[in-house]
Amino acid sequence: MNNYFVILAAGKSKRFHKNLSKQIYYYKNKEIIDYSVEKSLNSKLFKKILIVTNNLNYFKKKMYPKSISVIKGGKERSDSSLIALKYLKKYKPKNVFIHDAARPNFSIKLLKNILKNLKSNKAVVPAVYSRDSIKYKIKNQIFNLNRNNSLLTQTPQAFRFKELYKFAIKEKRRVNDEATLFINNNSKVRFILGENKNNKITYLSDIETVKTYFGIGFDIHKMIRNKNLYLGGVKIPFHSGLKGHSDGDVILHAIIDAILGAMRKKDIGAYFPNTKKFKDIRSPKMLRPIIKNLYKSNFSINNLDINLICEKPKVSKYRDKIINSISKLTTINKHQINLKGKTVEKLGLIGKEKAIACEVIVSISKYD
């Protein structure tokens, strides 16, 4: 296992943001570079992992295991790569992988595949075919490139250390990647199929940030005779209904409170106080404006989980109807809604069929 993994993280990332450093930017709850560090470490394929950065003080504070070293990089990518090779020379590596920190989405399987191919090759480079048609410009002339002959090279790229070192030392021009060194020296590069998801993060807009929130809602209403029973917006044939300023629909009220909670927008009473205006209001009329507001604020619902707590009516009998109704009111898919029925062993007011309660948990996400 005489393999070494170099992570190049010295770029200024000017195209990413004028102030933010791309390599340590948070992406799905982790710094972008951490994906490369963790995967190379977890693969157990490497004797040493070398991080090349121009932000030494920041990386020195990290509690890395001994097998990870951090060194200062150069001005350009090829400078940093050469600095890394010179640093590693004393370890007499057999193979070296060079990787851009800006590609967090490669798999450990790819690392293994590269290494397997390196047994019979001196340079192994993952590449994918372009999805877009490519034009090539020379002065004012435009040429069409055949998409099937155009390869987009990715990293990690892997090499026999000796050859790469030799080519890197004598190369005077700045090169975009190490594969170029081999190509410039007419040395064979073995291209293997890369991974489409292993894109390079270049612009801040390449990263879709998702923030997820949870909200909880609870409601309880007393049962009274001579009132219609509404649950989840569905009229249920029953001897009693739910007492309240509105139709007393505990399910929709708990959903409203859960959504307001997740959005941090107070509670149902703040929007529908017990005033004349809302006397005998049907609950779908209360839920609709809340849902409208949710979507207007760029949120979307991931799922709703509902506990309806009562002895009767039997939830299983009306489950599909209620879920259908909630799906229509919230415009989410039925598969995102779960409804559970819960009895209370005939205990207390609910057990004596004098009240119905409901609790709801909702998860919502905001895409920026």
Which range binds Zn ion by CB under 5 A, 19-27, 213-221, 318-326, 330-338?
Answer: 213-221
Nearer to Zn ion, 39 or 253 (CB): 253
Q: Where are the beta strands (DSSP E) in 226-314?
A: 229-231, 234-236, 240-242, 299-309
* Bond into 156 cis (ω within 30): yes
Nearer to Zn ion, 6 or 223 (CB): 223
Interacting residues with Zn ion between 166 and 185 (CB under 5 A): none
* Coil/strand/helix, residue 255: helix
Spacing of C-alpha 30 from chain mean position: 10
Residue whose Cβ sits closest to Zn ion: 253
SS3 for 320-358 is HHHHHHHHHHHCCCHHHEEEEEECCCCCHHHHCCCEEEE
Residue 356 touching Zn ion (CB under 5 A): no
Phi, then psi, of 331 in degrees rounded to 5: 55, 30
Do residues 157 and 100 touch, judged by C-beta distance below 8 A? no
Report the relative pairing of strands 190-193 and 123-129 from DSSP bridges.
parallel
Site string for Zn ion, 242-261 (x = CB under 5 A): -----------x--------
Which range binds Zn ion by CB under 5 A, 129-137, 168-176, 214-222, 320-328?
Answer: 214-222
Which range binds Zn ion by CB under 5 A, 14-22, 38-46, 212-220, 222-230?
Answer: 212-220
d(Cα 183, Cα 168) in Å, to the nearest integer? 12
Nearer to Zn ion, 77 or 253 (CB): 253
Name the DSSP letter for residue 119: T
Among 31, 100, 219, 311, interactor with Zn ion by CB under 5 A: 219
Which range binds Zn ion by CB under 5 A, 61-69, 216-224, 273-281, 337-345?
Answer: 216-224
Rounded to a whole number of angstroms, the minimum distance from the CB of residue 268 to Zn ion is 7
Nearer to Zn ion, 219 or 311 (CB): 219
Interacting residue ranges for Zn ion, rule: CB under 5 A: 219, 253
